[in-house]
Amino acid sequence: MIKYKRLVSCILILTISVLMIACNPNDTERTTTMADDTTSNTVETTVIETTEETVTTKEIIAVEFSDSTIVTEHISVDNLLEIDFFEDIEDLKIADNYNPYDYNEIKVVVEFTKPSGCSVTQTAFWIQEYLAIRVVGEVIDDEGFYTAGQEHVTMDNETPNHYRVRINPDEAGLWNYSAAIVVRGETLQTTTGTFSVSDNSERSAGFIEVDQVNKRNFIFSASDESYFPNGVNLGWPSTTLSTHDYYNWFKELNEVNANMGRIWLANWSYSLHKYSYDDFDSRQNILARLDYLFETAKEFDVYVLLTLINHGQFSAITNPEWAENPYNEANGGMLEYPIQFFYNEEAKTAYKNELMYLISRFGYSENIFAWELFNETDWVDGYSSLVVTRWKDEMAQFIHANDPYNHLVTTSYKYTFGTPGFDLDSLDFATFHSYGFANEIYYEMLNDEMTKLWDKYQKPVLFGEVGIDWQAGSSTYSSDYQGITIHQGMWGGLLSSAGSANQWWWDTWIDRYDLWFQMEGASTYATYMDVANKNYTLLQENNQVTTSDDDIFIIGYLLENEIYGLIYNKMWNYWNSSPDVIQDITVEIPFDNGTYTLSVFDTKTGDILSVTTVTITNGVFTIENLDISEDYAFILK
């Protein structure tokens, strides 16, 4: 569509090893110990003062931390832990001598050792502190939604910019850490410390992974429960509430049991490189807003498909932003043409630094569903499938090598088919875009395309964008003022792919006309589903599944001891919202003999309408005397 718009490496310690340090006689070593008066946490610092003999091509200016602070007041399992590292306020050298956004030049690498002996390594990030994110002139209605106001970020101009590290502790007990300042490959200082993590009675589900048994769905790493992404695109803020728009939208999703939003790092919203590809100081207020966004996502159990670059940034033709792009040589960059971004080594190195920053600052968050490398890359000027595919493989592998929490990686294209990037093993799942659903039987087209895409790529398939009109929310509303295609996209995606088919016009259609309720039925039904670590076939692919009427079709999952199904009337569509009722329908599904519980659901709300006991003696589960105008959902288990 044309528009404006995850190493946790765990090493089991089996023996006690002795660390042998070869000392250079020209090096001196100084050790200091700092104790936090308010906690039992301790920090030990080792500084290696490097002499000129260690300098090779460019002089290394000695830098060191004089203090470290555990920011988090109450450290507990599955909650954010932050540690700050400060230079002496009278001897600030890092920003004057190095670029803290260039991880090849300077970086702070922190290795955490868990109580079990396992370890996790994370890189620190450069931060300007902020004091508050608030809405000036806020108006909140009786239901708790912001209805007016302007968001304001108050930056801390007194505290020097410094390094911060974030992790998500997953074990209770005593943790140790070792933080190394590394300048051009040389370790200048090592800071060590300890902290205690308390247990948490409300454990999180964990990070999202691909289900390695069926390979069609997603699963939570800690709970081993299925994750069905059901939601909508939420590309960027649309009012003066700015990031607080996401408070409203995440709240709306939560109230209908939906759990996913797709968000762009666009130049008019959250892009780091709007003004510079190697200096993000001017975007620290935007990064503060992203902090708030992920905190809010956690509050409302929403998982973000984070789109890292939108197509227009590298196009002078399609939603053009190339003229303002800092990678453009006209703006001091290194690229004459947009397509060079994908093969110019300097550009690739610069962008990897940005990826490192994103991973360092936000990688702790379980509420990042996946990193989406690029929105609709084939809109880029001079697009070359071979060049772009190689870039995507390189960047995806880079993320997998550096993200300690192994978030999933994907990408997107403007076309549903002909997308070779999804053949890459480095891309964990496939997301597709299609606005060709106008005047089509929605359920039928979704199922047909999802089946072809799964057959082709053999990995989870998700419609990242879908719709009947690419041009505007207003024209989509004119065609589908009831939001029937939202309902059908949710149910059709859920029962034929990895999750819902996600509509685009969130602000000018779904939110403006309060159509969030159309997501509730499928999203609530999904809370009853469990296909984690289970193999299954799709009902629609089993030719032994029959219906008594050609206008009645069934989609869903057929497992060993469960069936998740939706029976629908093909004649019910957005242009025919009140079709004739098809009566006296019979549906037959091959199934093992036994006694089961049949639950029937309201497809609008997800409420259970009836629960009955069913006994199968002939190897066929049969539904008889069924009358359907729209659709009918059930679970047999």
Q: Which sequence spans correspond to the domains of the chain?
A: 229-415+426-449+464-490+499-526, 537-636
Strand, coil or helix: 190: strand
> What is the rounded average pLDDT of the residues 152-158?
97
Cα(419)–Cα(590) distance, integer angstroms: 36
Structurally, what CATH architecture does the domain formed by 229-415+426-449+464-490+499-526 represent?
A: Alpha-Beta Barrel (3.20)
Lowest mean pLDDT among 54-63, 167-176, 186-195, 335-344: 54-63
- Whole-Å CA distances, 362 to 169, 291, 400: 14, 8, 15
> What is the rounded average pLDDT of the residues 98-112?
98
Structurally, what CATH architecture does the domain formed by 537-636 represent?
A: Sandwich (2.60)
Q: What does the pLDDT look like over 441-497, one tens digit per residue?
A: 889 999 999 999 999 999 999 999 999 988 899 999 999 999 999 999 999 999 999
Retrieve residue 338's tokens: 């947009």
Strand, coil or helix: 25: coil
pLDDT at 34: 34
**Residues 599, 635: contact at Cβ < 8 Å?**
yes
Q: Using CA atoms of 534, 539, 544, 546 in order, give the dihedral in degrees to the nearest 10.
A: 150
Helix (H) or strand (E) holding 344: none
Nearest to 481 by CA among 494, 468, 465: 468
Task: For residue 56, give every residue at least 6 positions away whose Cβ sits within 8 Å of its Cβ, in sequence order, or none.
Answer: none
The answer to whether residue 15 scores a pLDDT higher than 70 is no
**Band of the pLDDT at 57, cuts 50, 70, 90?**
low
Strand order in the sheet with 582-590: 546-547, 582-590, 620-628
Phi, psi dihedrals of residue 278, rounded to the nearest 5°: -135, 10
Nearest to 146 by CA among 133, 159, 137, 154: 137
**What are the DSSP E strand ranges found in 50-159?**
67-70, 81-86, 106-113, 119-123, 125-127, 130-140, 146-155
- Whole-Å CA distances, 171 to 223, 304, 360: 14, 25, 20
Cα(531)–Cα(634) distance, integer angstroms: 15
Cα(217)–Cα(533) distance, integer angstroms: 9
Cα(196)–Cα(181) distance, integer angstroms: 24
> Which one-letter amino acid corresponds to residue 442?
Y
Cα(585)–Cα(562) distance, integer angstroms: 22
Task: For residue 33, give every residue at least 6 positions away whose Cβ sits within 8 Å of its Cβ, in sequence order, or none.
Answer: 42, 43, 44, 45
DSSP conformation class of 351: H
**Band of the pLDDT at 52, cuts 50, 70, 90?**
very low
CA 201 centroid distance within chain: 25
**Band of the pLDDT at 39, cuts 50, 70, 90?**
very low
Q: Give strand pairing partners of 183.
A: 106, 186
**Band of the pLDDT at 17, cuts 50, 70, 90?**
very low
Phi, psi dihedrals of residue 523, rounded to the nearest 5°: -65, -40
Cα(382)–Cα(394) distance, integer angstroms: 20
> What is the rounded average pLDDT of the residues 209-238?
97
More confident residue, 56 or 272: 272
> What is the rounded average pLDDT of the residues 216-229?
97
More confident residue, 636 or 35: 636
Asked whether the whole model's pTM tops 0.85, one would answer yes
pLDDT at 47: 40
Largest distance between two CA atoms of the chain: 92
Q: Give strand pairing partners of 260.
A: 231, 303
Helix (H) or strand (E) holding 157: none
Asked whether the domain spanning 537-636 has the same topology as the one spanning 229-415+426-449+464-490+499-526, the reply is no
Please give the span between the terminal C-alpha atoms of the chain, in angstroms, as a whole number.
Answer: 41
Give the mean pLDDT of the chain: 91
**Band of the pLDDT at 29, cuts 50, 70, 90?**
very low
Phi, psi dihedrals of residue 194, rounded to the nearest 5°: -135, 160
CA 316 centroid distance within chain: 28
DSSP conformation class of 602: -
Nearest to 232 by CA among 492, 556, 491, 510: 510
> Which one-letter amino acid corresponds to residue 142?
D
Strand, coil or helix: 391: helix
Cα(210)–Cα(220) distance, integer angstroms: 9
Phi, psi dihedrals of residue 545, rounded to the nearest 5°: -85, 125
